[in-house]
Chain A
Amino acid sequence: MNPPRPRPKLDQENTAFWTGGSEGRLNIVKCGDCGEFTHPPRLLCRHCQSENVAAHAVPGTGVIDSFTVNHQPWARDLEVPYVIARVKLDGAPGVYLTTNIVNCPVEAVDFEDKVRVVFEEQDGIFYPLFERIA
């Protein structure tokens, strides 16, 4: 049994990201003026500094840019090995998420694998994990 995942402290900038999964939405901040994405989420666009930004639901798919099979238990009772990946999101150019690849053996994961989001809920936080698209 894994320990509970570390819980993000919700604030004005990050709440839409960490709770969007309650509606099945993977929310990334998008600029209403220049159309670019800002992640980690901020109250202004990092490309044009416009404050006309809002959480935008992206498709929830992407590709594995890189990954590591982690063998070190960083917390008591943490089950290893598990895959940590850097996923390049579809529909949000320039945005990557650090995440876990789940629902497959660690040996099955490879570069450029197509993946889609699956949310894991824990006390109102919806952690965006990813699984391979068969």
Chain B
Amino acid sequence: MPGVDAYVTGLGQSEVGVRLPRHPLLLTVDAVREALDDAGLTLSQIDGVFTYPGKMSSYTAFSPVSSDDLIEVLGIRSKWHLGAMEQPAQLSAIAAAAMAVKQGLVRHAICFRTVYEAGGMADPGTYLSGMKQDTVSGPSQWTSPFWATSAACWTAQYAARHMHRYGMTREQLGQIAINGSKNALRNPRARAITKEELTLDKYMSARMISTPLCLYDCDRFTDAATVVIVSAGDALDEVKTTPVRIAAMSGSVDRYSWDQAEWFAAYETGADLWTRTDYTAKDVDTAQFYDGFAFLPITWLEGLGFCEKGEGGQFIEGGTRIALDGELPMNTFGGQLGAGRLHGFGFAHEAVNQLRGTAAGRQIAGDPKVAVATSGGGPMAAALLLARD
């Protein structure tokens, strides 16, 4: 049986902030309500729920809401649901929903990502208690004992190597955060995260976290829920929005231990994406690239073929190419550096907004039809190609 295509038909997002008093389950429900209103759907039409990475008891703040929680409180009659970390990066939850829709298992799926890392820090007894462990095991045993505690330390080594091999400069790398801050100032949902434009001077004098990554190269803990509704191609008459097709998706994982992989998975995932579509990089009107750390968009630019391997720094030099009015507008909502650590879903949300022409004060010019949204870092990555065709 030939499957139908999968489309994004609804977008929703809660308030985005730092130490929000509202409970993360309620933030999630806020985002669901907005997405349902947007799509013109009711809860009775939803029959699937997908999230990443699923509720985490070891670090509740990172993922405080399960798909089961949402199904329970919303009374959803779900035919398929999923919340799992063992997938290729954050957007794999949306890819999984698309697979379910294409197979006819589900007609309209809620996909969500809820983060409560800022609020969780303020209430460690509730949200961080699972992190108190006497020993480390699994992948972290190969990094934590050397105080390479954060993914910032792991990413920094690959960024440093890129600078060493190819000559990328801090002035070039800084354009990711600077571009993010400019765009975030045009995004009402980023008000709590970015309050002023980041200048190159301020960037260059920022304190280092792990060289070459400074404070502004790292996203910050945020409280928010982001929802994307994925619908089947034969159910589009039930929605009121302009549907955006998931034209292709790809994912990959190299080694589970970050330090054994030679290259980030963005290269394999990026190349693979173009084998699954007739579109090419030249057709892309806007790029929404995961920027939990500023180096990651460099790997996506190179991995997806917008420039050659090693030339990512030159590509973003001066920031004009990736600006809102540039040839490849990037992270037009601010990215995670500018709009908060929404953890992957912000990129899909914004790509669809731009393709629909509903990005308001940050809408890119022309008639954008194709966007790419990515997620992940290090040895795992997932990408979505979105098209209004």
Interface, chain A (partner B; CB < 8 A): 5-9, 11, 14, 39-40, 65-72, 74-75, 78, 81-82, 84-86, 94-100, 111, 125, 127, 129
Contact = CB atoms under 8 A, between A and B. Distances in A.
Contacts of B139: 40
A96 B136 contact: no
A72 to B, nearest CB: 5
Contact of B147 (A65, A69, A84, A125): A84
B157 A72 contact: no
25 contacts: A5-B146, A6-B140, A7-B134, A7-B135, A8-B141, A9-B135, A65-B161, A66-B158, A66-B160, A68-B153, A68-B157, A68-B212, A68-B213, A69-B208, A69-B211, A70-B209, A71-B209, A72-B208, A84-B146, A84-B147, A84-B157, A85-B157, A95-B260, A98-B148, A98-B154
B137 to A, nearest CB: 4
A39 B257 CA distance: 9
A59 to B, nearest CB: 19
A16 to B, nearest CB: 14
A29 B154 CA distance: 23
B149 to A, nearest CB: 4
B152 A72 contact: yes
B179 to A, nearest CB: 24
A100 B141 contact: no
Contacts of A7: 134-136, 145
B143 interface: yes
Contact of A78 (B137, B147, B209): B147
A81 B207 CA distance: 12
B44 interface: no
Given A11-B137, A74-B149, A68 B259 contact: no
Contacts of A82: 147
A9 B260 contact: no
Contacts, number: 104
Interface residues of B, number: 35
A6 B136 contact: yes
Interface string B242-271: 000000000000000101100000000000
A40 B154 CA distance: 16
Most buried by A among B139, B154, B156, B211: B211
Most buried by B among A40, A67, A70, A125: A70
Given A69-B208, A72-B209, A84-B153, A9 B148 contact: no
Contact of B142 (A67, A74, A98, A111): A98
A25 B198 CA distance: 50
Nearest to A81: B208
Contacts of B147: 5, 70, 74-75, 78, 82, 84, 100
B157 A86 contact: yes
Contacts of A129: 146
A101 to B, nearest CB: 10
A67 B142 CA distance: 15
Contacts of B140: 6
B259 A9 contact: no
A39 B260 contact: yes
Contacts of B135: 6-9
Contacts of B132: none
Contacts of A5: 145-147
B150 interface: yes
Given A71-B207, A84-B148, 4 more contacts: A8-B137, A39-B260, A67-B157, A98-B142
B211 to A, nearest CB: 4
Contacts of B152: 72
Interface string B117-148: 00000000000000000111101111111111
Interface string B11-52: 000000000000000000000000000000000000000000
